[in-house]
Amino acid sequence: MTVLTSPPRVVTTRRFDVWILIAAASLSLIGVAMVYSTTWGRLVADGDPPGYFAIRQGLFLVLGVMAAWVVYRLDRPRLMALAIGGYALSLLGLLAVLTPLGTTINGTRAWLTLPGGFTLQPAEFAKVFVVLLAALWLSDRAGVHGGDDPPEPRAVLAVLAATGAVVGLLMLQPDLGSALVTLAAVLGVLFVAGVRRRFLVLLLASGVVVAVLAYVVGALDAYQVARFTAFLDPAGDPQGVGYNVQQALIAIGTGGVTGQGLLEGAHTQGAFVPYQYTDFIYSAVGEELGMIGGVLVIGLFVLLLQRGLLAATHADPFGTLLATGIVCWLAAQGFENLGMNVGLLPVTGVPLPLVSYGGSSVIAAWMGVGLLLKVSRRV
Amino acid sequence: MTTMQTRPGPTGRRTAQRRLRLLKVLVAVIGLTIAARLVWLQTAQAPQYQARAAAIQTDIVEVAPARGDIVDRNGIILAGNRTAYEVVADTDVDEQTLQQVAELTGSELTDVQARMVICGQPGSLPGTCYAGQPGQPQPVVVDVGVPEALAVREADLPGIDIRTAAVREYPSQANAAGLLGYVSGGVGQSGLEAQYDQALRGVPGQARRELTRQGSSRSVITQAPVAGETLRTSIDAQTQTVAEQALQEAVETARDEGYKATGGSVVVLEADSGAVVAMASYPSYDPNIWAHGVTDDQYAQLTDETSGRPLVFRPIQALAPPASTFKSMTTVAAVNAGFDTGRTYECPASVVVGGQVFRNYESRAYGPVSLAQALSVSCDTVFYRLGYQMWRKDGGLAGEGAAEQVVRTARSFGLGARTGVDLPGEVAGSIPDRTQVQTEYDQRSADYCLRAKQGYPEESNPARAKMLKAYARDYCKSGFEYKAGDAMNTAIGQGRTLVTPLQVAGAYAAIANGGTLVTPHIGSLQEAPSRGSVDATPAALTYVREALADTTVTGTASGAFAGFPLTEYPVAAKTGTAEVAGKQSTSWFASFAPADDPKYVVVVNVDQGGLGAATSGPVARAVYEQLFGITP
């Protein structure tokens, strides 16, 4: 009898979806190799060990896998505690970067300096915790009512408030890219949570109005506007932002089908592409590993996202929303990064999840992977 | 989906499933779009991007070959290369960085900045401004010492680098600036550097330079440069040095005696081959000034009249009447014209022709003398008369189809024409004959005839204006005539005859070697093809040689050669003192030795330097002492 009244939790298996792990680990290892390829030359020229950045990236990967293991093991109450604590710490961090504690890199005040030459980017972690909170709050009601109705307006408002605080602080840095990614992730959660279509349309429309207003009032920095105009006309400013895109396209274009080979890409080894070990690492993939490597990276990425969505499909309401949020976050960020590398989208300065160099980015992405693996256990 | 079918959930779940399917499709579509774009970039667009990448990443640069050395006959380097360090700056380096460069190298900021200016732009200074390829790093401090170069390198200033450059250096004691010439922009511009530029320059190689965005680069030599050939010359560095020093001393001595001594030449030839052993020009200059570009001031110095125009290489570029050195040719011409060497000729103090008095200049009256004696004591009146008699024989003023023995013979000795020496910029000079006088008149008469009528109203000195007008009237009336005076002046090497010291040396080499007009040459030890034979019988040449041998014993040069071992090394010589209107006389000394078996020809001249024997004689003597290893 218990079988009939039991919720679907009964069909739980202990095994996670191994494809998610394979895709994430492959992307991470390709990332370490590409970080080495894009940094060793400059390090040697400066008299530093050639593996400095690659070893650090490897260390970030280990920390990320450990973080993934931790979140994988947490039960729902502990996840709630982690979400609230992490969200609060993220807000504190996002406030701190705006104080003199923060460091400005390339016009964005997004980093906190840690001892040992490490920096922390609170925005990367904020995305995980916002998604976690949204999934928890919106599934709470759905769980009670069996997901029959759209989520309660109170929960939606709470989610919007929590998101708005993060996005607002991100815009103050200003970090347009992370703000958009955060919005996209939350939007994805609201969408799958069953929020009415007209509400979503209203939300999107108000977002567009805010963006236009920000542009008109001049709240955006000149460089952000320049990035957009450079996207529209990459050849217009070959020495400025357009330069970055042009060099990335040249690097990718010279890769051909089979690529120049790891450490062999002349454009990459000549360091013509700025930020080629962070935001533009995909240009190095394109040049050195060619179409085969480039399509492989896209394929692994899409595999990770699709298996995440598959997990979402078969999960309980909380798992569904959590996996959706993480997939939407990774998809928005990853596709934006890949899109700007191949000249399809404007430059907004977001890293390619798991692949680009950066401790906060790698660890946060692996936390996301850990949560996806956790959700995938319920098949 | 199976769970959905077997156990239909609430509507909310169905909405979620539907929306998740939509997300799956969206992810797939975006992924495919990006992949399609990637495939397009890497297949259809690949050639375009590969070409652009190549243009950015690589850069073909020329690799300069080492310029060939110029060495003397013993292999002593006259012009070689040394490595100089220079500080180069990117075009966009700021003033603060340049200030640091100036401090590190101990130079002035203004000098450093002046080198940043591209030639032709406002404020650019010739010799200092940047004349290279635009956009390339520009040298801002040239020829810095090794400590300074190291200091700059250690400072590691942005946009600043140290580069090496090959710079011409002149390690021998000889100066030879005009002879060697100079190099600018990697191309020989004058002297031997220009004449043998092709061989000296070598063949540039090519390097493919792979650039990085940081500006650093590594070069791969794709085609090695071929170093320039070594140019072996016939010059003897020691003789060259002695000639230069002796010439300078002679100039200084002449100046002590009140002469202006504005410039001088020494030419030393091998009598049989025409190989140039030494060729000195005074004033000279320090050839090192060309190393990093010559400034306006320096160039003015090099070409200024008051500094003696050191850039003029006088042995081949300074024209003067040959004066009495010409009498050797007049003697041969007289023999050619049938005058008897067995009889005597009157040497009075003066001769009067057509009411004009022609006086002896260098010598006194000797009474009846042989032609040989007339030559060695340089009796003008004997040669005036010979000239006059030959002019009469040619038909005087009429002179239709005249033999013009003097002009013709002198020309056969190479006078008044380029010798063909392997140096650029040689001038010809001239020995006017009847035809040329006529041609010249046809060109100038209109001007002079106009002046004959209108005079010289612009001339402030009335006496001078009157004299000029009288000359114009005479020239207008009879300037086409080849007068007796013209012939007589030509016979003693005066008048409108103009030659270079090298031409005189060539003529005396022909006398010395028995009649071959050699082609003077420097660039190799092989004989250059001669210019043919002079118009003289062997007997006539022997006669002249013997006569000239007396000059140093009993003639005009006996003073200058007093105490010289003439029995062991007999020196045949002819002195000359050319008169130039409005200037002090030009001192000439043409000689060869040993007189009985000539090996060397030495010709010296000093402009406005006084008497031939007194000023130029000692220079020739010093050269012979060096050539024959005589310790004075």
Say what the pLDDT of residue A376 is.
93
Whether B1 is in a domain gets the answer no
For testing the chain B interface, which of A141, A313, A340 should be mutated: the one with the most B CBs within 10 Å? A313
Residue B254 pLDDT exceeds 70: yes
Residue A307 pLDDT exceeds 70: yes
Q: Which residues of chain B are within 8 Å of residue A199 when distances are taken between CB atoms?
A: none
One domain for residues B212 and B313: no
One domain for residues B189 and B86: yes
One domain for residues B556 and B609: yes
Whether B456 is in a domain gets the answer no
Residue B591 pLDDT exceeds 90: yes
Say what the pLDDT of residue A14 is.
63
- Mean pLDDT, residues A154-166: 92
Residue B574 pLDDT exceeds 80: yes
Residue B439 pLDDT exceeds 50: yes
Whether A155 is in a domain gets the answer yes
- Domain extent, residue A249, equals 15-376
Q: Which residues of chain A are within 8 Å of residue B33 when distances are taken between CB atoms?
A: 344
Name which of A11, A191, A253 is nearest B19 (Cβ-Cβ).
A191
Tokens of A274: 């700025």
Q: Which residues of chain A are within 8 Å of residue B38 when distances are taken between CB atoms?
A: 252, 286, 291, 294-295, 298, 342
Whether B504 is in a domain gets the answer yes
Task: State the smallest CA–CA distance between residue A98 and chain B in angstroms.
Answer: 31
Give the pLDDT band of residue B270 (cuts 50, 70, 90): very high
Q: Which residues of chain A are within 8 Å of residue B11 when distances are taken between CB atoms?
A: 148
Task: State the smallest CA–CA distance between residue B43 and chain A in angstroms.
Answer: 6
Helix (H, G, I), strand (E, B) or coil at A102: strand
Q: Using the 3D structure, point to which of B213, B231, B249 is the last residue of a domain.
A: B231
Whether A7 is in a domain gets the answer no
Whether A2 is in a domain gets the answer no
Say what the pLDDT of residue B508 is.
97
CATH number for the domain that contains residue B218: 3.90.1310.10
Question: What single letter denotes the amino acid at residue B12?
Answer: G
Task: Name the pairing type of β-strands B70-71 and B231-232.
Answer: parallel
Identify the burial level of B443 via C-beta atoms within 10 angstroms of its C-beta, where 0-12 means exposed, 13-18 middle and 19 or more buried: exposed
Say what the pLDDT of residue A226 is.
66
Residues B220, A58: Cα–Cα separation, whole Å: 35
Whether B14 is in a domain gets the answer no
Give pLDDT tens digits for B34-70. Answer: 999 999 999 999 999 988 888 777 777 777 788 999 9
- Mean pLDDT, residues B491-504: 93
Residue B239 pLDDT exceeds 60: yes
Domain count, chain B: 2
One domain for residues B503 and B371: yes
Top-confidence residue, B223 or B8 = B223
Residue A144 pLDDT exceeds 90: no
Q: Which residues of chain B are within 8 Å of residue A295 when distances are taken between CB atoms?
A: 35, 38-39
Tokens of B334: 């007289």
Stretch (H or E) spanning B462? helix B462-478
- What is the pTM assigned to this prediction? 0.64
One domain for residues B103 and B149: yes
Would you state the torsion angle of the CA atoms of residues B524, B527, B528, B534, taken in this order, to the nearest 10 degrees? 150
Task: State the smallest CA–CA distance between residue B39 and chain A in angstroms.
Answer: 6
Whether A275 is in a domain gets the answer yes
**Taking CA atoms, what residue in B is nearest to A296?**
B35
Task: State the smallest CA–CA distance between residue A111 and chain B in angstroms.
Answer: 25
* CA-based nearest residue to B606, from B246, B139, B207, B126: B246
User: Does B51 contact chain A (CB < 8 Å)?
Assistant: no
For testing the chain A interface, which of B13, B41, B48 should be mutated: the one with the most A CBs within 10 Å? B41
Average model confidence (pLDDT) across chain B: 87
Whether B47 is in a domain gets the answer no
Mean pLDDT check: name the lowest of A25-34, A60-69, A264-273, B553-562.
A264-273
One domain for residues B251 and B327: yes
User: Does B49 contact chain A (CB < 8 Å)?
Assistant: yes
Residue B413 pLDDT exceeds 60: yes
Whether A1 is in a domain gets the answer no
For testing the chain A interface, which of B30, B32, B210, B216 should be mutated: the one with the most A CBs within 10 Å? B30
Residue B138 pLDDT exceeds 60: yes
Whether A82 is in a domain gets the answer yes
One domain for residues B191 and B248: no
Q: Which residues of chain A are within 8 Å of residue B55 when distances are taken between CB atoms?
A: none
Task: State the smallest CA–CA distance between residue B55 and chain A in angstroms.
Answer: 11
Name which of B3, B7, B56 is nearest A272 (Cβ-Cβ).
B56
Whether A5 is in a domain gets the answer no
Residues B122, B247: Cα–Cα separation, whole Å: 44
Top-confidence residue, A19 or B290 = A19
B50 and A188: CB-CB below 8 Å?
A: no
Give the pLDDT band of residue B327 (cuts 50, 70, 90): very high
Identify the burial level of B166 via C-beta atoms within 10 angstroms of its C-beta, where 0-12 means exposed, 13-18 middle and 19 or more buried: middle
Give pLDDT tens digits for B526-572. Answer: 567 889 999 999 999 999 999 999 899 888 888 899 999 999 999 99
Q: Which residues of chain A are within 8 Å of residue B34 when distances are taken between CB atoms?
A: 298, 335, 338-339, 342, 344
Whether A8 is in a domain gets the answer no
Say what the pLDDT of residue A346 is.
86
User: Does B24 contact chain A (CB < 8 Å)?
Assistant: yes
Residue B211 pLDDT exceeds 80: no
Tokens of B29: 């579509």
Domain count, chain A: 1
User: Does B15 contact chain A (CB < 8 Å)?
Assistant: yes
Say what the pLDDT of residue B220 is.
72
Task: Write the ipTM.
Answer: 0.92
User: Does B214 contact chain A (CB < 8 Å)?
Assistant: yes
Name which of A148, A286, A306 is nearest B10 (Cβ-Cβ).
A148
One domain for residues B513 and B544: yes
Task: State the smallest CA–CA distance between residue B49 and chain A in angstroms.
Answer: 5
Say what the pLDDT of residue B382 is.
94
Residues A334, A327: Cα–Cα separation, whole Å: 10
DSSP string, B143-198: EE-HHHHHHHHHHT-TTEEEEEEEEEE--SS---HHHH--EETTEE-SHHHHHTHH
Say what the pLDDT of residue B10 is.
47
Share of residues in chain B with pLDDT > 90 (%): 47
One domain for residues B527 and B407: yes
Give the pLDDT band of residue A7 (cuts 50, 70, 90): very low
* CA-based nearest residue to A352, from A251, A283, A287, A270: A283
- Domain extent, residue B78, equals 61-231
Would you state the torsion angle of the CA atoms of residues A198, A200, A203, A206, taken in this order, to the nearest 10 degrees? -50
Whether B77 is in a domain gets the answer yes
Give pLDDT tens digits for B100-136. Answer: 889 888 888 888 888 888 777 777 777 777 776 666 7
Say what the pLDDT of residue A58 is.
97
Q: Which residues of chain B are within 8 Å of residue A339 when distances are taken between CB atoms?
A: 34
Contact A337, A279 (CB under 8 A): yes
Residue B72 pLDDT exceeds 60: yes
Calculate ∠ Cα A191-A20-A263, nearest 5°.
Answer: 115
B57 and A270: CB-CB below 8 Å?
A: yes
- Mean pLDDT, residues B373-400: 88
Give the pLDDT band of residue A1 (cuts 50, 70, 90): very low
Q: Which residue stretches of chain A are H helix?
A: 2-5, 18-45, 52-73, 76-96, 122-145, 153-172, 176-193, 197-217, 222-232, 241-255, 266-269, 281-313, 317-341, 359-376
Residue B357 pLDDT exceeds 60: yes
- Mean pLDDT, residues B7-11: 43
* Number of other CB atoms surrounding residue B528 within 10 Å: 18
Give pLDDT tens digits for A316-336. Answer: 889 999 999 999 999 999 999
One domain for residues B128 and B212: yes
Residue A2 pLDDT exceeds 60: no
Stretch (H or E) spanning A113? strand A108-113
User: Does B199 contact chain A (CB < 8 Å)?
Assistant: no
Name which of B20, B28, B214 is nearest A312 (Cβ-Cβ).
B20
Whether B16 is in a domain gets the answer no
Say what the pLDDT of residue B7 is.
38
Task: Name the pairing type of β-strands A108-113 and A119-120.
Answer: antiparallel
Say what the pLDDT of residue B5 is.
37
Give the pLDDT band of residue A287 (cuts 50, 70, 90): very high
Name which of A251, A253, A312 is nearest B48 (Cβ-Cβ).
A253
Residue B214 pLDDT exceeds 70: no
Give pLDDT tens digits for A106-137. Answer: 777 788 888 777 888 999 999 999 999 999 99
Whether B5 is in a domain gets the answer no
A286 and B49: CB-CB below 8 Å?
A: no
Task: State the smallest CA–CA distance between residue B29 and chain A in angstroms.
Answer: 10
Top-confidence residue, A77 or A227 = A77
**Taking CA atoms, what residue in B is nearest to A323?**
B20
One domain for residues B103 and B133: yes
Mean pLDDT check: name the lowest of A144-153, B54-63, B419-428, B520-529.
A144-153
For testing the chain B interface, which of A342, A344, A378 should be mutated: the one with the most B CBs within 10 Å? A342
Give pLDDT tens digits for B165-203. Answer: 788 889 888 999 999 998 887 788 899 999 999 889 888
Task: Name the pairing type of β-strands B70-71 and B58-63.
Answer: unpaired
Cα dihedral sign, B563-B566-B571-B575? positive
One domain for residues B527 and B613: yes
